[in-house]
Amino acid sequence: MIIYSEPKKAGDLPVIDIGPSFSGDPTAREAIAAEIKAACRNTGFFYISNHGVDQTLIDGAFAEANRFFDEPDSWKEKWIKQGFSNGYEPPETQRLDNESPGDIKESFNFTMGNIPGTPGYKANIWPEDFPGFRERLEAYKEAVWQAGLQVSRLISLSLGMPFDHFDDTFAQQKSPLRILRYPPHPAETEFNQLGCGAHTDWGWITLLSQDSLGGLEVETASGEWVRVEPIPGTFVVNLGDIMLRWTNGQYHSSLHRVMNNRSQKNRHSIVLFFNHVHDTHVECLPTCITPGDTPMFPPCTAGEHSTQRYNESRPQLASAE
């Protein structure tokens, strides 16, 4: 359990302009990959700018999130996740720090490209008679997914692998998008109860768009908690635990948390978890280990790892994903 205390300062995370990487210029791509490599070996958190996602799509997605969460609880509860489906999650449903109370947030999740019967399939639950909601969120997700693919290719280069080395392992179906609302932090909450408990992400990378209120904090290598302040026109990118397995621990997946205690307004964020296909075989890359050494982590599949972590965060669910 991570005891909450106010972060000491705002984080000094790099802002990486990935715009030149879209040109196809190998020199530009290698230079950006080097910046990403430095960030990944540090906290595993960085911002990206010039990512190719139109601001109107971002604004539209936040408008839909506000519209959805402003509906009465009785209406939102019609679209609650059923077992391992997607859908709405009321406050305190998820608990990302297993030794703390449930997180003070509500969310709605969906995926695209769903194929029933495939490993890790989750059905979507879309609200009825709510025009524009699905269309605008899917348009946003498609655009951000393309940005995630570009970042992933640059990460591949940073690891000494071909630009498109991981392309075939990624899937829309396993890359959920989540809209979130964090209410102002109540004074009467239980000890160590946060908007989002301290945790690491589970998959490959995460792309976050946050509103102007802030509240995201990351733990540095020295153990200090620092704020990840909103920067207009950027996404925050952070690495998940699968990255540790691929890189033999060379790239970091850092603890982070959310505390909406700096205003009396609702905080909103939109998260894309950019993940591998369920049956992707994950083991240390040859560029990340000296011949003859033993990898830090045993091989696994992406699905095995994500299922374990998902179940740990929702102890009320008894069976696997």
Average pLDDT, the chain: 88
Return the minimum-mean-pLDDT range out of 36-45, 88-97, 169-178: 88-97
Structure tokens at 275: 């993940």
Average pLDDT over residues 149-165: 98
pLDDT of residue 5: 57
Q: What's the pLDDT band for 292 if we cut at 50, 70, 90?
A: confident
Q: What's the pLDDT band for 121 if we cut at 50, 70, 90?
A: confident
> What does the domain layout of the chain look like in residue ranges?
9-313
Structure tokens at 50: 């010039």
pLDDT of residue 91: 82
pLDDT of residue 103: 75
Kindly tell me if the per-residue pLDDT of 193 is higher than 80: no
* 284 and 248 Cβ atoms separated by less than 8 Å: yes
Kindly tell me if the per-residue pLDDT of 231 is higher than 80: yes
The closest of 319, 306, 316, 312 to 111, measured between CA atoms, is 306
Average pLDDT over residues 279-297: 93
Average pLDDT over residues 94-106: 68
Torsion of CA 243, 248, 252, 253, to 10 degrees: 50
Return the minimum-mean-pLDDT range out of 76-90, 96-110, 152-166, 198-212: 96-110
Average pLDDT over residues 237-259: 93
pLDDT of residue 184: 83
Tell me the CATH number for domain 9-313.
2.60.120.330
36-54: per-residue pLDDT in tens?
A: 999 999 999 999 999 999 9
The closest of 209, 148, 136 to 175, measured between CA atoms, is 148
* 218 and 228 Cβ atoms separated by less than 8 Å: yes
Q: For the sheet containing 225-227, what is the strand order?
A: 9-10, 225-227, 216-219, 256-258, 196-199
State what percent of residues in the chain have pLDDT above 90.
Answer: 68
Considering only residues 205 and 220, tell me which one the structure prediction assigns the higher pLDDT: 205
Q: What's the pLDDT band for 99 if we cut at 50, 70, 90?
A: low
pLDDT of residue 282: 95
Q: What's the pLDDT band for 181 if we cut at 50, 70, 90?
A: very high
Judged by DSSP in three states, 26 sits in: helix
Kindly tell me if the per-residue pLDDT of 320 is higher than 50: no
Structure tokens at 207: 């792309």
Highest mean pLDDT among 123-132, 218-227, 293-302: 123-132
Considering only residues 186 and 166, tell me which one the structure prediction assigns the higher pLDDT: 166
In the chain, how many H helices and how many E strands?
A: 6, 15
The closest of 19, 71, 55 to 232, measured between CA atoms, is 55
The closest of 205, 163, 147 to 28, measured between CA atoms, is 163
Q: What's the pLDDT band for 305 if we cut at 50, 70, 90?
A: confident
Considering only the C-alpha atoms of the chain, give the largest distance between any 2 of them, rounded to a whole number of Å.
60
Kindly tell me if the per-residue pLDDT of 312 is higher than 90: no
Tell how strand 216-219 and strand 225-227 pair up. antiparallel
Average pLDDT over residues 183-212: 79
Radius of gyration of the chain (CA): 19
- Tracing tokens 């025009």 back to the chain, one arrives at 131
Q: Where are the beta strands (DSSP E) in 176-289?
A: 177-182, 196-199, 205-210, 216-219, 225-227, 235-239, 256-258, 267-274, 281-282
Q: What's the pLDDT band for 98 if we cut at 50, 70, 90?
A: low
Residues 6 or more apart in contact with residue 222 via CB below 8 angstroms: none
pTM for the whole thing?
0.91
The closest of 66, 54, 183, 53 to 133, measured between CA atoms, is 66
How many whole angstroms separate alpha carbon 81 and alpha carbon 86?
5
Kindly tell me if the per-residue pLDDT of 168 is higher than 60: yes
Structure tokens at 168: 């075939």
